[in-house]
A and B are shown apart, each in its own frame.
Chain A
Amino acid sequence: MLEKYLEQYFGYPEFRPGQKEIISNVLDNKDVLGVLPTGSGKSICYQLPAKLLDGTVVVVSPLIALMVDQVKQLVATGFKEVVAINSFLDFEGRSDVLSNLSSYKLIYISPEMLQNKNVFQHLLRISVSLFVIDEAHCISQWGHEFRPDYLKLHEVIPLLGNPTVLALSATATPDVQKDIIHQLQVPKMKKLIFSMDRDNIAFKVEHCDDVTEKLTYLVDIIGKFPVPTLIYFTSRNWTEKVANILSEKVPEVSSAFYHGGMDQSERLLIQQQFMNGQLDVICCTSAFGMGINKNDVRLIIHFHLPTQIESFIQEVGRAGRDGQSSVSLVLTAPNDNMLPKNLIDAEFPTIGQIEMVCTYLSENDGVIISNDMLLERYQLSESQWRFLYYQLEKSGVIKDNRIVSNNIDLNKIAKQIQSFVNQRKIHKLNKFNDLEKWVHHKEQCRRDGLFSSFQAEVRKAKFMCCDKCDFTFEHWEPRYKSKQVKQGSWQDVLDELFFKGAYE
């Protein structure tokens, strides 16, 4: 029955593992915590109910780019009653959307916008049938991407009339799962956990002496395997640099780079070329991949490591969604670990910044907080300020966006925050060390090492397993079809575009 709707509305002939179970429970008004691996189509779990339920489905998601992508894709497939409410929406667009809120079946909203009083007032007036928390691990301080504003979600649920709640995550360890249920205060939540391990992906780590050796190895592999490939880097510069090197050294393989600093419409072209098979290799930052629907990515290379296992698993999970043999390759070199450590440091405010902000607060009792001014004056990044704001709210120095610092010992508060920062940093460094340990482990099977903290039993590999067990590139025979777009004269291109001549 559900299959019929899946086909009718989304054109998929069958469900992926987990989807049907989650959907039928949700349609049965049961609160669900669903953990589904990346690439298994989490979003269908609320998109199909949005089509079937009376009332509106509200999805809270911190990933604005992903939100926008999904809305676009839905609209492209004919699901038009969908909208994303986030800070990108300009004032006019927003008031348009808000005044017609009940006409939408599916509303994506960022956690910030959910805190916006005006927006929330409008939400209260519509009938919400299902409340979805996407990337639910963000609610847990022990998850890999803690978002303080997620902690307020439990207050929202009763105000919306206690709709059915669906919390979704691709990467939640048992501890984090427990924390999600605890924080959301939905005690009867049913846990539906599906295995994280991807049995068609083999793992390999290559230890190089330095960056030059990394590049040589990379060029060699790309030359031997011109398969759809994503290469991950932690900096924008590197994506450009390596894409250029590849174009030069392996010209028969088409490569491009992709990062958040590019013009949006140009980024979209690169993304679509990759999906269309016009591009083989994309050198990218973590900005690439979310919302990508490409089944035949065969190779994921980490030129740089992310800061934690969860991100690594998510990125690797973009390979082989069609179940065919695919590979994850990590390249390491001594001193590689400096970059992630710097990234972790940069996530939090410095001692100096904390003290300066606290001094400002102590001198400005009663003043309304101006985010932009504080970001500018104290050179805080968005994430640093979000962290600090939440801590200050928790200690009562900020209430309803107003400073309440009279008779409050801000020195003490600064010290408390500082010690919390240290705790968080240590936690994050430990998480990075877990990944490092995995990379440098002497004998443990890579699949066991990667997945055993997420699930009791790790499945056997469908093809080759890992470099500790049986994997070598010599024995890898990936399936792929290369579609070279012809580079003819402009007449040829025009003929092809308009189905003329030989293309009729």
Chain B
Amino acid sequence: MFTLIILDCINKLSLDRSISGIYHMLTGKKSVQSIQDAHIFQLTAYFGIYKRLDFAEFERIITVLEREQFIAVSDNYSAVLTDKGKQYVTDKQEILNQVGLKGLKYHRMSEQFLLRLQLFCQTATNLFAGNNSFLAITDNREVQLWVKHFYHETKPDLRKCLDEMYKELKIFLSQIDQRSAELFVDRLTGFKRIALSKEQLSKKYKKSIHEIEVQLTDIVHRLIAFILNNKQVTPFLVSFVDDLKSQMFLTDSASHTYRLYQKGLSIAEIASTRGLKQNTIQDHIIEISYIFPELILPSFLNKEAIETIKSAMNQTNSKRLKDIKALVGDNYSYFDIRLVVAVNQMDK
């Protein structure tokens, strides 16, 4: 799956972006540029799905793909699929269609959600079995505090809670493929049963560590989507996600900008209030416009401007800002164009 995802990225980006751009997107780094790319090239599913990926390791994977002639890398470090690569992606389209990743939507909350679930499972099962000395599987303080608090609420009827959690997990796991279900439960720690490490999973299923990482993320994203779409089926598990939803979309810095924007401050004013460059604030506005397109666009551009840029977009049929800019001329800034591009990608 992981290799396939990289090939899919290369396929969609082709020569428009460098390979490092894929890395930034997968790790969710350099947010604004990457978020924008994710939208433009329809790669939002993969955004931030593998935060721990090491750059050197990523480069190694690229080298292997090149050596095996799935891709051809050009001098400016961008790449295209070879015929062999294209054939491979076509053959495996089925797998890509089944991918449940929703990176852009869930990448900020999925780790925290999973840790809550795992730590609660460990805590509740151990305490239920009468063992109150166990080492927490995570040091994350926020997660520990949350579980502590949640446990106190559920303590009066622990058995019922365990039953509920069991039931809801079982419903979800029955809906996904066997392998994924197995992988998911292998990562759960309970009473006298310690989860397998990723290294061990890699050996057990004869898959690379990267494959395991991405598959686990895939399952977690599917679980979150399942919970949010079937709240009546998963009344217990909803508590693990509900308060995380607000973190779903914006970076902290962008949401700060958003609050000031809502107060009516201009870009220049926000920049000076926050002591940041105007460019940075513009980046935030773009980020926000992906989420609240109807809110942002009209306050910056009038109908005519939007239409002009839109038709230039269609005319060039290119995703390069430079090409669009060449058509609309100096009447509009890059920022204007980025805004329109952002909002229009959302329409699709």
> Which A residues fall within an 8 A CB radius of B?
72-73, 76-78, 247, 256-257, 262-266, 268-270, 272-273, 276, 278, 485, 489-491, 493-494, 496-500
Contacts and interface: CB of A to CB of B under 8 A. Distances in A.
A239 B250 CA distance: 43
Contact of A498 (B132, B134, B165, B199): B165
B319 to A, nearest CB: 37
B178 A269 contact: no
Contact of B137 (A262, A268, A496): A268
Nearest to A485: B193
B265 interface: no
Interface stretch (B56-64, B181-189, B236-244, B335-343): B181-189
Contacts of B304: none
Interface stretch (B166-174, B292-300, B323-331): B166-174
B203 interface: yes
B193 A72 contact: no
5 contacts: A76-B134, A276-B192, A489-B178, A497-B188, A498-B163
B3 interface: no
B198 to A, nearest CB: 6
B203 A266 contact: no
Contacts of A263: 52
Most buried by A among B162, B184, B197: B197
B195 interface: yes
Contacts of B200: 256
Nearest to B169: A494
Contacts of B125: 497-499
Contact of B170 (A257, A269, A494, A499): A494
B121 A497 contact: yes
B197 A266 contact: yes
B197 A269 contact: yes
A494 B132 contact: no
Nearest to B128: A499
Contacts of A273: 194
B135 to A, nearest CB: 6
A265 B139 contact: yes
Given A490-B178, A498-B166, A499-B162, A76 B173 contact: no
A76 B197 CA distance: 22
B133 A76 contact: yes
- For the complex of A and B, the 4 pairs showing the least CB-CB separation, nearest first, are A498-B166, A497-B190, A490-B181, A493-B185
Contacts, number: 86
Contact of B182 (A73, A257, A489): A489
Most buried by A among B121, B137, B185, B198: B185
B95 interface: no
Contacts of B186: 493
B138 A265 contact: yes
B305 interface: no
Contacts of A265: 137-139
Contacts of B197: 256, 266, 269-270
Interface residues of B, number: 40
Contacts of A257: 199
Interface in B50-78: 52
Contacts of B173: 490, 494
Interface string B114-157: 00000001000100110011111111000000000000000000
B99 to A, nearest CB: 20
B139 A264 contact: yes
B42 to A, nearest CB: 32
Contact of A497 (B182, B193, B198): B193
Contacts of B182: 489-490, 493
B196 interface: yes
A496 B194 contact: no
Nearest to B159: A499
B203 A247 contact: yes
Given A266-B197, A490-B173, 17 more contacts: A72-B136, A76-B132, A256-B200, A262-B199, A263-B52, A269-B137, A270-B197, A278-B194, A490-B181, A490-B185, A493-B188, A494-B169, A494-B170, A494-B185, A497-B191, A498-B190, A499-B129
Nearest to A495: B166
Contacts of A276: 192-194
A78 B192 CA distance: 19
Contacts of B139: 264-265
Contacts of B191: 497
Contacts of A500: 166
A86 to B, nearest CB: 14
A278 B196 CA distance: 10
A496 B198 contact: no
Given A494-B166, A498-B163, A268 B133 contact: no
Contacts of B162: 498-499
Contacts of B184: 490
B62 to A, nearest CB: 23
A492 B265 CA distance: 58
A134 to B, nearest CB: 21
A489 B133 CA distance: 28
A65 B31 CA distance: 34
A269 B134 CA distance: 12
A76 B166 contact: no
A485 B191 CA distance: 12
Nearest to B141: A93
B133 A497 contact: no
A266 B198 contact: yes
A14 B99 CA distance: 57
Nearest to B182: A490
A76 B135 contact: yes
B300 to A, nearest CB: 38
A497 B136 contact: no
A194 B33 CA distance: 65
Contacts of B199: 256-257, 262, 266
A272 B134 CA distance: 9
A262 B52 CA distance: 13
A76 B185 contact: no
Contacts of A498: 125, 162-163, 165-166, 190
A267 to B, nearest CB: 8
Nearest to A78: B132
A427 B134 CA distance: 43
Contacts of A491: 170
A251 to B, nearest CB: 11
A272 B133 CA distance: 12
Contacts of B137: 265, 268-269
